[in-house]
Chain A
Amino acid sequence: MNLTTPLGDEVLKLRAGDRVTLSGIIYTARDEAHLRMMEEGIPFDPAGAAVYHCGPVVKDGRIVVAGPTTSARMDALTGFLLDRGVRALIGKGGMGAEVVEQLRGRGVYLALTGGCAALAASRMQVRGVFFEDLGMAEAVWVIEADRLPLIVGIDAHGGDIFEDIRQKAKAQFREQFKNTPGYIP
């Protein structure tokens, strides 16, 4: 499926594991930007918005590279965005159980291949910036995306590929080391 921002109820149809593309305006935000938005408000219209966990390298108003950062750092900082109407989170590595619940009936988590910063940048243009005082990595960049290749990591129905894989890995680990006493995570 090809998605375009602002997003609506079409995201509710997606299932974990689906491959999609996303086009239109997206907003980068990392740890510091989330904290600032909680304090001062969201500087863009959150209704149907897509928030991209990314700290790009920008030079002379152009994106040099812009791959996803580890989303789990934003686990405890995400609820207010979804409450205000954000429909998609884009990042890498998946998110915690509280975010899976917060996405239920509202939005999706989309995984972009980690480290693919040149590939991602080749499909993005800078359209503006908020909170530039936070520094290049932590500022909120307004980006126009052109068909970003994504995988639905967490859907709006509690489906979570990352958690499925984690559970399988945990079971395999227990089996592999069943005769070795010690801490099992």
Chain B
Amino acid sequence: MMKNPADPLLLDAVASATCRALKQAEIVLPPDVLAALERAHAEERQPAARSELKNILENVALARKLQVPICQDTGVPVIYLTVPPDLPIAPELYGAVREGVRRATAIVPLRPNVVDPIARTNTGDNTGEGMPAVHITPGDRLTVTALPKGAGSENVSRIGMLLPSRPEDIKRFVVETMLLAGGKPCPPVVLGVGIGGTFDQAAALAKEALLLPIDRMDAYEEDLCSAVNSLGIGPMGLGGDTTALAVRVRKAGCHTASLPVAVNVQCWACRRATVPVEVER
């Protein structure tokens, strides 16, 4: 039997799961990211870079102990839902996610970051027109994934429509993105790369690539990652061995005459958390 998408208990559970996913993402770094930072610290040869990585590790431990956000840029809420086949996707579902964002803003607390793009007036609760960004995919059960996205790294992200006859230029575009970014996005970064699809799809894939675990790169991703690291930008742009903790790629089929490539830059605080929605009756 189909579930009622306007069921107040269900909607409250969605809001609550959204709030919990945001809270966890803001406060606790995922284990794969923490492990990558620890390895970067252990392997770093330059003293200034090592002290930056030590500050980062200290900060991550302190945030967890004090139950406060890792970074004051608590980002804008990017939310991914998996929705099971027996739940119709109704407007109420989006409303419940918004409610969860408002709750998280008040209780974590999150910095109110969302403004009107032209008037620049702040809504005060991290919601706005089309914000939170909510992406829905079919799944076995109802889950909420939060990816709070900070501006320092988002602002140096790029999209390019490359020559379809030159797929080898993808590497150059990825490395060039980091060269132009320098220390601005708080390296060591994670790069989410979207290749193919359409203009908009490439950007969405790049962001989704940031949800992938960073401890299992394939050979193509490893090659991109070491090309980025050879720039020597290092933690915070002060020079060092680790500029990127990982590069992850997601692909989609594209027009034979196109080669869209998007690079979504993510600071070292690669924040993400998934929480299942549980309805209590």
Contacts and interface: CB of A to CB of B under 8 A. Distances in A.
Interface of A: 17, 19, 54-57, 59, 64-67, 69-70, 72, 92-94, 111, 113-119, 121-122, 135-137, 149, 151, 153, 161-162, 164-166, 168-170, 172-173, 176-177, 180, 182-183, 185
B19 to A, nearest CB: 16
Interface of B: 48, 51-52, 55-56, 58-59, 62-63, 66, 68-74, 109-113, 122, 151-152, 155, 168-169, 172, 175-176, 179-180, 182-184, 186, 227, 230-239, 267-269
B29 to A, nearest CB: 10
A114 B179 contact: no
**What are the 9 A-B residue pairs with the smallest beta carbon separation, nearest first?**
A114-B186, A116-B59, A113-B55, A118-B63, A119-B59, A117-B72, A169-B231, A65-B72, A93-B184
7 contacts: A57-B69, A67-B59, A67-B73, A69-B152, A70-B151, A113-B59, A172-B230
A71 B56 CA distance: 19
A165 B69 contact: no
A119 B51 CA distance: 13
Q: Interface on chain B toward A: helix, strand, loop, or mixed SS?
A: loop
Contacts of A176: 175, 227, 230
B152 A116 contact: no
Nearest to B235: A113
B237 A94 contact: yes
A111 B236 contact: yes
B279 to A, nearest CB: 31
